[in-house]
Amino acid sequence: MIKRKETIMKGVFFIAALTSVLAVALICIFLFANGIPAMAKIGVFDFILGEKWAPTNVPASYGILPMILGSIYITVGAIIIGVPIGVLTAVFLSRFCPKKIYKIVKPAINLLAGIPSVVYGFFGLVVIVPIIKDLFGGNGSSILTASILLGIMILPTIVGVSESAINSVPKSYYEGALALGATHERSVFRTILPAAKSGILAGVVLGIGRAIGETMAVILVAGNQARMPDGILSGIRTLTTNIVLEMGYATDLHREALIATAVVLFVLILIINLLFSVLKRRMN
């Protein structure tokens, strides 16, 4: 009877895993089957390296380089802002935070993960955009604004994964450092953090995925201007926002070009994950 139950559960687990793989495969097939022909019609280099996106003009232009750069710029900005804050917050919660404060800070960080993207976007539009406008001029909707907002949005992911990685380091590492004469701070930053770097890097990768794939919040604060960015205070349009803004009325080649944009985004995320996998192997 027990063996039969084990066999049934193995089958259930296998089907669950197979379903996940099948879902990814179907998404890939849909994207590439509809996106690659569009690239062939437009021209791969004209599509990826083109600097003008004007599908309603005659003749139409389908260059997505401004959106590629826009996605990269705001993602890098979010990393610069979110990663140091997230990792240091995780260190504080794991090794320095008093229990009474932990009971307040930890739920607050978890609550950030449950806030809808559109609420983040509305907060950025009402609070961050006016601040940037007053400090630097312009209309406030810019790469800098989007980077700050995305930096806040990726904090729960980075903090949660990094804290778990730090807590999973054996206590003997910390105790051994203390026994050798290191201070509490030096033991944490010179012994615990290097040992947890693999898990922290995983949190950073998840944060990057959240940042580069974000849509609703970016629509509200980035300016949505399909042009080459000329500074952190200029408005931009990302790959995701380009798809959302125009898919509702796109037809024929225009629609196919938007699907091809999703293919480029998919490949970009895949490249980022592969680069971090290589980095992780070298670090280990």
| pLDDT one-digit tens code per residue, 107-126 | 999 888 888 888 999 999 99
Whether 236 and 209 have beta carbons less than 8 Å apart is answered as no
* C-alpha closest to that of 207 among 70, 77, 79, 74: 79
* Least confident piece of the model among 61-65, 130-134, 266-270, 278-282: 278-282
Please provide residue 279's backbone torsions phi and psi, each rounded to the nearest 5 degrees: -65, -40
For residues 236 and 67, give the distance between their C-alpha atoms in angstroms, rounded to a whole number: 7
* Least confident piece of the model among 56-65, 209-218, 238-247, 273-282: 273-282
Helices (H), the chain: 2-42, 44-49, 65-91, 99-114, 117-123, 129-136, 143-153, 155-167, 171-179, 184-187, 193-195, 197-213, 216-221, 239-247, 252-283
Domain assignment present for 39: no
69: Cβ–Cβ under 8 A, 6 or more apart, which residues? 228, 229, 236
Domain with 73 in it: what CATH number?
Answer: 1.10.3720.10
Domain assignment present for 111: yes
Region at 43 (left for phi over 0; alpha for psi -120 to 50; beta for the rest)? left
The pLDDT of residue 60: 81
Specify the number of domains making up the chain. 1
Mean pLDDT over the full length of the chain = 87
The pLDDT of residue 177: 87
Please provide residue 236's backbone torsions phi and psi, each rounded to the nearest 5 degrees: -140, 170
Segment 174-197 shows an average pLDDT of 87
- For 192-221, how does the pLDDT look when each residue is reduced to its tens digit (9 = 90+)? 988 888 888 888 888 888 888 888 888 888
Domain assignment present for 220: yes
- For 55-101, how does the pLDDT look when each residue is reduced to its tens digit (9 = 90+)? 887 788 888 888 999 889 999 999 999 999 999 999 999 989 888 89
The pLDDT of residue 126: 92
Q: Which residue type, as a one-letter code, is found at position 231?
A: G
Domain assignment present for 70: yes
Domain assignment present for 258: yes
For residues 61 and 141, give the distance between their C-alpha atoms in angstroms, rounded to a whole number: 25
The pLDDT of residue 17: 87
Segment 263-278 shows an average pLDDT of 85
214: Cβ–Cβ under 8 A, 6 or more apart, which residues? 117, 150, 153, 240
Q: Are strands 61-62 and 53-54 parallel, antiparallel or unpaired?
A: antiparallel
For residues 61 and 54, give the distance between their C-alpha atoms in angstroms, rounded to a whole number: 5
The pLDDT of residue 284: 63
For residues 203 and 163, give the distance between their C-alpha atoms in angstroms, rounded to a whole number: 9
* C-alpha closest to that of 208 among 270, 142, 132, 284: 270
Domain assignment present for 114: yes
* C-alpha closest to that of 268 among 24, 65, 21, 41: 65
Task: Say if residue 284 is exposed, middle or buried (CB neighbours under 10 Å; 0-12, 13-18, 19+).
Answer: exposed
Please provide residue 158's backbone torsions phi and psi, each rounded to the nearest 5 degrees: -65, -45
88: Cβ–Cβ under 8 A, 6 or more apart, which residues? none
- Identify the domain containing residue 236 by its residue range: 61-283
Domain assignment present for 15: no
Q: CB atoms < 10 A from the CB of 107, how many?
A: 9
Domain assignment present for 196: yes
The pLDDT of residue 1: 66
